[in-house]
Amino acid sequence: ARRPAGEMQGPSVRLDDAAVRSFGLARVFKDNTARVNSVDFHRTEDLMVTGSDDESIHVYNTASGELSKTIFSKKYGVDCVRFTHAPHAILCSSKNGAWDETLRYLSVHDNRYLRYFRGHRGRVTSLAMSPLDDSFISASMDKTVRVWDLRTNACQGMLRAPATPCAAFDEQGLVMGVAMEGQLGGNMELMFKLYDVRMYGKGPFDTFRLAGTQSAPTHVCFSPDGALVLLCTKDGSIALLDAFKGEQRHLFQTQPPEDDTVRLQACFSPDGKYVLCGSADGSVRVWSSSTGEELVKWLGHADAPAVVRWAPRRMMVASACSALALWLPDMDKIGGIRATP
């Protein structure tokens, strides 16, 4: 039975290979009429937000498994939905055409825009909130990464890239990682640059090059301890890098979505031991970040679940195509709830 799995702090389910293999569909939401393009969990509250190509934003209570709020953005469309630190406020980018790439700070409580952030001239490809303060970053098809602050409309800084970048903060909020394609000797290659958040204007303090990678990045994220980095690319490859040395630990492969505008977005488990990503065959694949072994394929989607997220503090995973799925472990298969040593 897929009973609520409890928090991952103190007495909890031990997250191991058996637990990961036991995950199955616990709930499927069919609240959208088009693809879900973004999913985010709040860091401290039992809340999940989604954005969809049907121009809707949905907020779910993950403790009760219920839809709690629906907001439509018919004028601008919705993409890259992210929670701020406040549970009642989110950030999102536009989706409807190239005429307006403004980022929006939205109060979900009363459906009111609190602030607009203007500057990008191309579709926003990634949006990340700092875990440390009110700053956030955005990357765009205009080949820039911009730094912002929720408290002011003005852009705080900008980095230029040779091609469309993806960007993310590490979990401590001290390092900013930017993935992009660059040219070396007439050939395009994938690069990953690390910046000190306090001194990003001075350039990267480290640059890693992924030899042999010929595909543009779609998503980047750090492991919870900041030691590893995931780089997803358009061809369905997922590179697992050592964040300190730049060495490629493993290269995972999925089937990329047929629509090349869909961004594959992989994620880590909260302990960093597992890597999850959707595939065009409708599965969510799970690998060991230490051995690189594919442990299991969770089956259930009718289309590619391009977005996969693991809830902080909980044994719960969300994946989305046009339907949103919540996955939980089977307590009967793994012996119920056990104390983590």
Tell me, what's the pLDDT at 332? Answer: 78
How many other C-beta atoms lie within 10 A of the C-beta of residue 244?
Answer: 12
Q: Is 231 helix (H, G, I), strand (E, B) or coil?
A: strand
pLDDT attached to residue 184? 66
Residue 115 in tokens = 């602030």
The amino acid at residue 199 is M
Q: What is the DSSP letter of 16?
A: S
Task: List the structure tokens of 119.
Answer: 């500057």
The pLDDT of residue 188 is: 77
Q: Can you tell me whether residue 152 is helix, strand or coil?
A: strand
Alpha carbon distance 314, 122 (integer Å): 36
pLDDT digits (tens, 9 = 90+) for 135-181: 999 999 999 999 999 999 999 999 999 999 999 999 999 999 999 99
- Spell 152-167 as b/e; 16+ CB within 10 A means b: eeebeeebebeebbbb
Please name the helix (run of DSSP H) or strand (run of DSSP E) that holds residue 137, with its range, or none: strand 135-140
96-113 as b/e: b if 16+ CB within 10 A: eeeebbebbbbebeeeee
- For residue 333, the model assigns a pLDDT of 73
Looking at the DSSP assignment, which residues form a beta bridge with residue 197?
none
Report how far residue 273's alpha carbon sits from residue 231's, in angstroms, rounded to the nearest whole number. 16
Give the pLDDT score at 11.
38
Q: What is the domain class of 26-333 according to CATH?
A: mainly beta
For position 74, what pLDDT does the model report?
A: 87
Instruction: Spell out the domain ranges in the chain.
Output: 26-333
Task: Check if the beta carbon of residue 19 is closer than 8 Å to that of residue 331.
Answer: no
pLDDT at 97: 60
In single-letter form, the type of residue at position 10 comes to G
- φ/ψ region of 131 (left if φ > 0, alpha if ψ in -120 to 50, else beta) reads alpha
Q: Report, as ranges of residue numbers, the positions in the chain whose pLDDT lies below 70.
A: 1-13, 97-99, 184-186, 213-214, 334-341
* Model pLDDT, residue 337: 40
- From residue 8, alpha-carbon distances to 21, 282, 314, 315 in Å are 17, 28, 5, 7
In contact, 262 and 297? CB cutoff 8 Å: no
pLDDT of residue 10: 36
